[in-house]
Structure formats: C-alpha cells, structure tokens
C-alpha cells in the first residue's frame, strides 16, 4: 500500500510542472500500480499458508494417522508425493495453483477446485444478501444518528452499533434461530431451501449456483419465496455486524460534512433539512464507506464461515468447517488460499473504485 501511495505521489510532483495534465492518466497509472501490488500479496499469502500448514507434517498423516498402519501410510504418502523435499512440493503447488489446480482433498478424493466452484457461489450469495442488510440498516441509521448528534437517538444507535460489533455472528445466528425458529416459528433456520426447492433447482439447466437467480430463471415463484425465506436469518446475522460499522462511519463523516459551509448556505436558501441530509451532505460522506468496503468484505467472508456453520448453509465456510473436523488439510489449505485471493482481488477493485470516485486517493 505504501508503494501505491508513494508512486502516485512522485507522479504528482511531475505533473506540478505541467499542471493541465488529464487526470485520466493518473487513474490509469494508479490502477496499474495497484494491480501489480496484488501479485506479491497473493504470493506471500499462499507461501505463508503453504508452509504453515506443513509445519506439523504431511496432510495424509494428519487426516488418516490413526486409521492406517505405518506401511499403508507410507505408501499413501509416497503415492501423493509428500515424501519429497518440501521446497519441491512448494514449487509444484505454486505451479499447480497458476493452472487453477488446488490439489485433491484427502478425505473424499474430490478436486479442491471443484469444491470451490460448487460451494463458492453459495458463499457469494450469502455475502450479497448480508451486504444488502448492512446497507439498508447501516446507512439510514447512520444518517439519523448524525442528524441527532449527541441526543437520545444518537446514543441509542451508537450503543446498538457497538452491540452489533460485540456479538459474534454465530451467537447472533443462534439467537435468531431461537427467536424465529423455535419460540416464534415463522422462518426456516437451516439450509438454503427445502428439500423440494433443492430438488427443483437441481434440475435447472446450466445452473449458476446462485439460488435466487436460478429460481428466477425458471420463474417458479414459490421457489423464489422459499429461497428468500431461507436467506433472511443468515443474512441478518451476518449483515448486522457490518451494518454497525457502516452506521458509525456514516455518522462520523456526516457530522463532518454537516458542519461545512455549503450546508449552511443550502439551509439559508430554504432547502429542507431532510433533503440537506439525504442529498447534499450524504454523498461526500459515502466515500469513506467505499474505502473500507474492502476490509469489510474480508471480514464478511470470515464471518460467512461462521454463519454458514450456524445455519447449515452449504457454502465454502460450511465445507471448511467440515474439512477442519475431518482434519483434511489439503482442502482447508485450498479454501483458505482461495478466500485470500478473493479478498485481495476485492480490495483491489474497491481501491480502484475509491480512486475513481475520489481523485484525492490517487495523489
């Protein structure tokens, strides 16, 4: 990141000589530098994960240690190539990764890349719903808190935001399950759809794996309803955490912009208070949200692991927990590396987006 900042900084010095340089060049260069930076990031993360996972030994012993005899173990290890020098394995692993090959799971023999594709979309779907919850709750409430700064609504909302942060997603999920699944049984508490829905959706030709899209494509509205009903509780459990972060960000930034002179001038021209907050002050206050989105998505992916386990949502996190229990470290490594790559790429996209919206980021 520091290189990303220092590079455009150097460029800013150049442009100060010829002031009227089109800003598009700055953005292009920023995007390029920022893009080149994700390569070392991904490289370091995969290297780190590889060696950390291997410190304690080979994956076969970890997974099958108690169940096979010494000879059988040695045979399996030899067949999989885990008896070769670690560096050789490392280079082979990195080479395979470049080809999109994440290895083969020890416990069920599935190619890890296949697991990633099958279950990845479920995780994306969950994070998507959770982001909607976070935006719908966080931004308006943040505006409300900022407008009533230091008064009762502000205090209540701030405490709520801290509570949202202080509650582990799995505990929030369990409470939601208790409230809306047991004491007031109105919502399904487990899975992505009923057995019937799963069956109907498994018949979709060329499925996206994104249940809502698949259900909309076949135009079966009871299935759409079922898919959405199943998503409500997990999305709330995961979304509330980020909603708290958004609330606080919007509040802080909106308080800053509400003190600006252009707001006073707007007020003197008779623009309604509602319009001042939602139109005039709101936009500049949104920029910081975009910049923290990258971190939030990283947080949400980790949160998704826990949420999926809580709600039996068959996504990557659910599988990760399963493979952890089975001590299948090849699959674990694959999923972790994959998630890390996703986070690095989203961070890149978010940074570019922020630079696009706010030119100050570039310099």
What is the DSSP track for 231-256? HHHHHHHHHHHHHHHHHHHHHHHHHH
238/334 Cα distance (integer angstroms)? 23
> Is residue 236 a contact point for other proteins (CB under 8 A)?
no
Between residue 82 and residue 141, which ones bind other proteins under the rule CB under 8 A?
A: none
- Judged by CB, which is closer to other proteins: 14, or 150? 150
149/259 Cα distance (integer angstroms)? 12
Least distance to other proteins, CB of residue 41, Å: 4
306/325 Cα distance (integer angstroms)? 14
- Judged by CB, which is closer to other proteins: 168, or 207? 168
- Judged by CB, which is closer to other proteins: 197, or 347? 347
Between residue 56 and residue 85, which ones bind other proteins under the rule CB under 8 A?
A: 56-57, 62
318/233 Cα distance (integer angstroms)? 16
Stretch that binds other proteins, among 69-77, 80-88, 217-225, 323-331 (CB under 8 A): 323-331
Among 127, 143, 223, 343, binds other proteins (CB under 8 A): 343
- Judged by CB, which is closer to other proteins: 200, or 304? 304
139/141 Cα distance (integer angstroms)? 5
Among 27, 80, 286, 298, binds other proteins (CB under 8 A): 298
Least distance to other proteins, CB of residue 251, Å: 13
2/8 Cα distance (integer angstroms)? 10
Least distance to other proteins, CB of residue 155, Å: 6
Pair 143, 279: CB distance under 8 Å: no
- Judged by CB, which is closer to other proteins: 348, or 356? 348
**Which residues are within 8 A (CB) of 110 and not within 5 positions of it... i.e. 6 or more apart?**
104, 331
**Which residues are within 8 A (CB) of 313 and not within 5 positions of it... i.e. 6 or more apart?**
122, 126, 191, 192, 234, 307
Which residues contact other proteins by CB under 8 A?
Answer: 1-3, 40-41, 44-45, 48-49, 52-53, 55-57, 62, 150, 155, 162-163, 165-168, 170-171, 174-175, 177-178, 181-183, 189-190, 294-295, 298-299, 301-302, 305-306, 309-310, 320-321, 324-325, 327, 329, 332, 336, 339-340, 343-344, 347
């Amino acid at each position: 990141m520091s290189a990303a900042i220092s590079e455009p900084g150097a460029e800013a010095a150049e442009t100060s000589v010829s002031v009227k340089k089109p800003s598009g060049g700055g953005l292009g260069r920023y995007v390029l530098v920022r893009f080149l930076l994700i390569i070392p990031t991904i490289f370091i993360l995969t290297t780190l994960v590889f060696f950390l996972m291997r410190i304690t030994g080979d994956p076969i012993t970890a997974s099958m240690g108690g169940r096979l005899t010494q000879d059988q173990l040695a045979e399996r290890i030899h067949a999989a190539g885990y008896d070769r020098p670690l560096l050789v394995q490392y280079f082979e692993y990195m080479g395979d990764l470049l080809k999109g090959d994440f290895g083969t799971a020890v416990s069920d023999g599935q190619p890890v890349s296949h697991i990633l594709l099958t279950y990845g979309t479920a995780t994306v779907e969950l994070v998507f719903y959770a982001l909607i919850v976070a935006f719908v709750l966080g931004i308006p409430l943040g505006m409300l808190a900022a407008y009533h700064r230091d008064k009762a609504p502000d205090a209540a909302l701030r405490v709520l935001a801290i509570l949202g942060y202080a509650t582990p997603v799995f505990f929030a999920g369990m409470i939601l399950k208790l409230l809306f699944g047991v004491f007031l049984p109105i919502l399904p508490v487990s899975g992505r759809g009923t057995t019937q829905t799963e069956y109907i959706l498994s018949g979709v030709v060329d499925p996206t794996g994104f249940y809502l899209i698949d259900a909309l494509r076949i135009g079966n509205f009871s299935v759409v309803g079922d898919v959405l009903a199943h998503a409500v509780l997990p999305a709330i459990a995961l979304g509330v955490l980020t909603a708290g972060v958004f609330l606080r960000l919007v509040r802080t930034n909106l308080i800053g912009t509400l003190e600006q002179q252009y707001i006073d001038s707007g007020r003197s021209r008779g623009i309604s208070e509602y319009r001042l907050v939602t139109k005039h002050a709101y936009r500049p206050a949104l920029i910081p949200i975009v910049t923290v989105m990258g971190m939030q998505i990283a947080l949400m992916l980790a949160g998704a692991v826990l949420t999926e386990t809580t709600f039996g949502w068959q996504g990557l996190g659910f599988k990760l927990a399963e493979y952890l229990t089975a001590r299948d470290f090849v699959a674990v490594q694959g999923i972790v590396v994959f998630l890390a790559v996703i986070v690095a790429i989203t961070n890149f996209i978010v940074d570019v987006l922020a630079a696009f919206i706010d030119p100050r980021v570039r310099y």
